[in-house]
Protein backbone atom coordinates (compact mmCIF):
# COMPACT_ATOMS: atom_id res chain seq x y z
CA UNK A 1 0.00 0.00 0.00
CA UNK A 2 1.60 3.33 -1.02
CA UNK A 3 2.03 6.10 1.49
CA UNK A 4 -0.64 8.81 1.27
CA UNK A 5 1.86 11.66 1.87
CA UNK A 6 5.17 12.51 0.23
CA UNK A 7 8.50 11.49 1.80
CA UNK A 8 9.29 14.97 3.14
CA UNK A 9 5.91 15.26 4.89
CA UNK A 10 6.22 11.73 6.31
CA UNK A 11 9.70 12.55 7.62
CA UNK A 12 8.43 15.71 9.31
CA UNK A 13 5.51 13.80 10.84
CA UNK A 14 7.73 11.00 12.16
CA UNK A 15 10.28 13.42 13.62
CA UNK A 16 7.49 15.01 15.65
CA UNK A 17 6.78 11.78 17.54
CA UNK A 18 8.15 12.11 21.05
CA UNK A 19 10.00 9.50 23.05
CA UNK A 20 9.27 11.16 26.39
CA UNK A 21 6.59 13.40 27.87
CA UNK A 22 3.97 11.52 25.83
CA UNK A 23 0.29 11.95 26.70
CA UNK A 24 0.04 8.54 28.45
CA UNK A 25 3.24 9.23 30.41
CA UNK A 26 1.95 12.65 31.47
CA UNK A 27 -1.34 11.12 32.71
CA UNK A 28 0.57 8.68 34.90
CA UNK A 29 3.03 11.31 36.11
CA UNK A 30 0.40 13.86 37.07
CA UNK A 31 -1.84 11.24 38.69
CA UNK A 32 0.94 9.81 40.84
CA UNK A 33 2.12 13.32 41.74
CA UNK A 34 -1.41 14.19 42.92
CA UNK A 35 -1.29 11.05 45.08
CA UNK A 36 1.82 12.40 46.78
CA UNK A 37 4.48 10.32 45.01
CA UNK A 38 7.70 12.06 44.03
CA UNK A 39 10.00 10.64 41.40
CA UNK A 40 12.89 11.27 39.08
CA UNK A 41 12.45 11.32 35.33
CA UNK A 42 14.48 9.26 32.85
CA UNK A 43 17.37 8.46 35.21
CA UNK A 44 20.45 8.05 33.02
CA UNK A 45 22.11 5.78 35.58
CA UNK A 46 19.55 3.01 35.09
CA UNK A 47 19.23 0.64 32.13
CA UNK A 48 16.80 2.02 29.57
CA UNK A 49 16.33 5.32 31.42
CA UNK A 50 12.93 4.40 32.92
CA UNK A 51 10.20 7.03 32.58
CA UNK A 52 9.63 7.39 36.33
CA UNK A 53 12.11 6.34 39.02
CA UNK A 54 11.37 6.10 42.74
CA UNK A 55 14.85 5.66 44.28
CA UNK A 56 13.74 5.23 47.91
CA UNK A 57 11.40 2.42 46.84
CA UNK A 58 13.87 0.93 44.32
CA UNK A 59 11.02 1.02 41.82
CA UNK A 60 10.61 2.27 38.27
CA UNK A 61 7.67 2.71 35.92
CA UNK A 62 7.85 2.46 32.14
CA UNK A 63 4.94 3.77 30.05
CA UNK A 64 5.21 1.91 26.75
CA UNK A 65 3.73 3.00 23.43
CA UNK A 66 1.97 0.02 21.84
CA UNK A 67 3.20 0.69 18.30
CA UNK A 68 6.86 1.46 19.03
CA UNK A 69 7.25 -1.41 21.50
CA UNK A 70 5.30 -3.97 19.49
CA UNK A 71 2.46 -4.67 21.91
CA UNK A 72 0.01 -7.36 20.81
CA UNK A 73 -3.15 -5.24 21.13
CA UNK A 74 -5.65 -3.37 18.98
CA UNK A 75 -3.44 -0.24 18.84
CA UNK A 76 -0.68 -2.11 17.01
CA UNK A 77 -0.72 -2.75 13.27
CA UNK A 78 2.23 -3.51 11.04
CA UNK A 79 2.78 -0.67 8.54
CA UNK A 80 2.07 -1.56 4.92
CA UNK A 81 5.12 0.21 3.55
CA UNK A 82 8.77 -0.79 4.14
CA UNK A 83 7.89 -4.00 6.03
CA UNK A 84 11.52 -5.13 6.47
CA UNK A 85 12.49 -1.80 8.02
CA UNK A 86 9.56 -1.83 10.44
CA UNK A 87 10.00 -5.48 11.48
CA UNK A 88 13.67 -4.83 12.19
CA UNK A 89 12.90 -1.58 14.06
CA UNK A 90 10.13 -3.05 16.24
CA UNK A 91 12.02 -6.30 16.93
CA UNK A 92 15.07 -4.27 18.00
CA UNK A 93 12.87 -2.25 20.38
CA UNK A 94 11.33 -5.44 21.83
CA UNK A 95 14.77 -6.99 22.37
CA UNK A 96 16.10 -3.79 23.98
CA UNK A 97 13.07 -3.62 26.29
CA UNK A 98 13.69 -7.21 27.41
CA UNK A 99 17.39 -6.52 28.08
CA UNK A 100 16.59 -3.37 30.07
CA UNK A 101 13.81 -5.13 32.02
CA UNK A 102 16.14 -7.99 32.96
CA UNK A 103 18.98 -5.62 33.88
CA UNK A 104 16.72 -3.58 36.18
CA UNK A 105 15.22 -6.63 37.87
CA UNK A 106 18.63 -8.32 38.25
CA UNK A 107 20.00 -5.13 39.84
CA UNK A 108 17.32 -5.36 42.53
CA UNK A 109 14.92 -2.81 41.11
CA UNK A 110 11.18 -3.36 40.87
CA UNK A 111 9.49 -2.51 37.58
CA UNK A 112 5.95 -1.65 36.50
CA UNK A 113 5.20 -1.51 32.79
CA UNK A 114 2.08 0.34 31.66
CA UNK A 115 0.97 -0.22 28.08
CA UNK A 116 -0.54 2.72 26.20
CA UNK A 117 -3.70 0.69 25.40
CA UNK A 118 -4.58 0.77 29.11
CA UNK A 119 -4.99 4.54 28.81
CA UNK A 120 -6.45 4.95 25.31
CA UNK A 121 -8.30 2.99 22.68
CA UNK A 122 -11.05 0.43 23.10
CA UNK A 123 -9.13 -1.58 25.74
CA UNK A 124 -8.58 1.44 27.96
CA UNK A 125 -9.39 1.46 31.63
CA UNK A 126 -10.44 4.44 33.67
CA UNK A 127 -7.37 6.33 34.86
CA UNK A 128 -8.11 5.96 38.59
CA UNK A 129 -7.96 2.12 38.65
CA UNK A 130 -4.65 2.24 36.72
CA UNK A 131 -3.25 4.74 39.21
CA UNK A 132 -4.53 2.62 42.12
CA UNK A 133 -2.72 -0.45 40.75
CA UNK A 134 0.46 1.61 40.47
CA UNK A 135 0.01 2.90 44.02
CA UNK A 136 -0.32 -0.69 45.28
CA UNK A 137 2.79 -1.66 43.33
CA UNK A 138 4.81 1.26 44.70
CA UNK A 139 3.68 0.68 48.29
CA UNK A 140 4.01 -3.11 48.05
CA UNK A 141 6.89 -5.44 47.38
CA UNK A 142 5.99 -6.99 44.00
CA UNK A 143 9.02 -7.20 41.73
CA UNK A 144 7.26 -6.81 38.39
CA UNK A 145 3.86 -5.55 37.29
CA UNK A 146 2.47 -5.35 33.75
CA UNK A 147 -0.70 -3.35 33.08
CA UNK A 148 -2.04 -4.66 29.79
CA UNK A 149 -1.42 -7.96 28.03
CA UNK A 150 2.08 -9.20 28.79
CA UNK A 151 2.67 -10.10 25.16
CA UNK A 152 4.43 -8.51 22.22
CA UNK A 153 3.93 -9.24 18.53
CA UNK A 154 5.90 -11.83 16.62
CA UNK A 155 8.43 -9.62 14.88
CA UNK A 156 10.49 -12.16 12.95
CA UNK A 157 11.18 -11.05 9.40
The mean pLDDT of 100-129, rounded to a whole number, is 96
Reported as a single tens digit per residue, the pLDDT across 91-110 is: 999 999 999 999 999 999 99
Task: Kindly state whether residue 154 falls inside one of the protein's structural domains.
Answer: no
Helices 23-34 & 127-139 angle (0-180, nearest 10): 60
Task: Kindly state whether residue 152 falls inside one of the protein's structural domains.
Answer: no
Q: Could you tell me the maximum CA-CA distance found in the chain, to the nearest angstrom?
A: 50
Provide φ and ψ at 113, rounded to 5°: -115, 125
Residue 1 has pLDDT above 90, yes or no: no
Number of structural domains (the chain) is: 1
Alpha helices in the chain (DSSP H): 7-15, 23-34, 83-106, 127-139
Task: Kindly state whether residue 123 falls inside one of the protein's structural domains.
Answer: yes
Boundaries of domain holding 108: 20-147
Task: Kindly state whether residue 15 falls inside one of the protein's structural domains.
Answer: no
Pairing relation of β-strands 40-41 and 144-147? unpaired
Distance CA 94, CA 133 (A): 24
- For residues 131 and 99, the answer to whether their CB atoms sit within 8 Å is no
Task: Kindly state whether residue 157 falls inside one of the protein's structural domains.
Answer: no
Residue 141 is part of a domain; what is its CATH number?
3.40.960.10
Reported as a single tens digit per residue, the pLDDT across 19-73 is: 667 999 999 999 999 999 999 999 999 999 999 999 999 999 999 999 999 999 9
Give the contacts of 15 (CB within 8 A, at least 6 positions apart): none
Q: In angstroms, how far is the first alpha carbon of the chain from the final one? A: 18
Task: Kindly state whether residue 35 falls inside one of the protein's structural domains.
Answer: yes
Task: Indicate whether this model's pTM tops 0.85.
Answer: yes
Task: Kindly state whether residue 12 falls inside one of the protein's structural domains.
Answer: no
Provide φ and ψ at 92, rounded to 5°: -65, -40
Task: Kindly state whether residue 94 falls inside one of the protein's structural domains.
Answer: yes
Amino acid sequence: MPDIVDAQTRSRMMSGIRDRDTAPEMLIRSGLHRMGFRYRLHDKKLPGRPDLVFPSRRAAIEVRGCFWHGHDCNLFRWPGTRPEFWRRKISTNIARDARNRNALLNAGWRLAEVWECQLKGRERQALEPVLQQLREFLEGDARHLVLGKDRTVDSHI
